[in-house]
Structure formats: C-alpha cells, structure tokens
Amino acid sequence: MIIRENQEIELTYTEFEIFKLLAKHPGIVFSKERIYDIVWKESYSGDYNIVMSHIRNIREKIEDNPSKPTYIQTVWGVGYRFNKNLTPFSKLCV
C-alpha cells in the first residue's frame, strides 16, 4: 500500500513491486523485459504487454491524470522510469 495526500492506495503485490522498483531508482529507465525479469524473478520470452497493463493500472491509481503521468514516465522505445525530479515521498509514501 502507498499513501497519497493522506489517502491509502491499494496496489496488488505485482503493482507494488513494479512501483517500488521504479521509485527506488528514479531516472533509471527499465525496459519491459527487465521489469518482468526482476519482478517475476524469471525470464519471459513471450508478450511483455502484461508489464504495460500493470503500469497502466498503477497510473490509474496514483496519477492525477493517468494519460499525462507525473510519476511513472514512458521513455518511448526504451521503457519506463520514475520521474527523477520527484521523490516517491513528495506526494506518495510507500
């Protein structure tokens, strides 16, 4: 669970692990493949859309405007990163 502006936000275990990975490494870009390998603790040779789906779910829960994310940014053609200009604790507490 994380807290945003004094409100508890429930994340699934997988959503929380993805959020935690990105938030602990602000500014570092992680590919979908790398996120999958770290969070699921195994290599996956199939469709990485599951990572995109979890990122979308996280954004729906934590962002003011999920279509213009502030916290979890997309680096087109590369992957995802946590905004290095924010700390996870600026509005969110893990």
Residue-level pLDDT at 43 = 81
2-54 tens-digit pLDDT: 887 788 899 999 999 999 999 999 999 999 999 999 999 888 777 778 999 99
- Rounded distance, CA 13 to CA 5, Å? 21
- The model's pTM is 0.87
- Rounded distance, CA 22 to CA 35, Å? 9
Structure tokens at 52: 């995109």
Q: Are 72 and 59 in contact (CB under 8 A)?
A: yes
Give mean pLDDT, residues 85-90.
64
Count of Cβ atoms closer than 10 Å to residue 6 Cβ: 6
